[in-house]
Structure 1
């Protein structure tokens, strides 16, 4: 994680310099704002990765003598049968269409989004996994 943190921090420095140069030369507010927001996102991700790298064990990507096989293994748990991302995608599509076609469409997309989000967050709090 140290490498990724350093990469994002250096990327944020580059984007900041480019935002300043672009803003001075072009005097165009939309692109300048987008570049400054990109700088903010890069610095947040870089700080998070650098901060987290101090708290976790050294990974294979930080060891210059590591083999590819050293990083093998389980990455995490991903739900194999969840329908909730589909509900979130449909609700998000309706919400974005609401911005295009009319805000009234948000009345139909908000319940779909909330049901999908609720179902995804509490998907494994049912049946035997439910706290009593």
Structure 2
């Protein structure tokens, strides 16, 4: 985690320099604001990774002598047959289209989005996949 934190810190410093240079030369407030927000996002991620790396064991990514196979194994549990991400994607796309075409589209997108969200969160609490 420490190496990834250093990478994001370097990215944040780079984007900060670009944001200052872009703001001085272009006089464009929108792009300058977006670049400063990108700097903030990179800085937040770098802070989290560097802060957390002190509290967890070092992984294979932090060891310069590590082999690729040292990081092999189970990375987490991912539902193999869930339709809920599709519902979330459709609801999110309709919601963003509502911003573009009209706020009335939110009336159709919010229920689809909520069905996908609650269905995905509680997928393993009901039905054939219920855990005991």
User: Normalized against structure 2, the TM-score is what?
Assistant: 0.93
Give the CA RMSD over aligned residues. Answer: 1.2
C-alpha deviations, 1:59-104, integer Å up to 9, x for none? 1111111111111111011011111101101111111221222110
Alpha-carbon offset, residue 123 of structure 1: 1.1
- 1:37 aligns to 2:37 (yes or no): yes
Q: CA separation in 2, counterparts of 1:78 and 1:48?
A: 24
C-alpha deviations, 1:6-53, integer Å up to 9, x for none? 110111111111111111111100110010000011001111111111
Deviating above 3 A after TM superposition, structure 1's stretches of 4 or more consecutive aligned residues are: none
Where 2:33 maps in the other structure, the secondary structure is helix
Give the number of equivalent residue pairs. 130
Which residue does 1:117 correspond to in 2? Answer: 117
User: Normalized against structure 1, the TM-score is what?
Assistant: 0.93
Which residue does 1:20 correspond to in 2? Answer: 20
Alpha-carbon offset, residue 129 of structure 1: 2.5
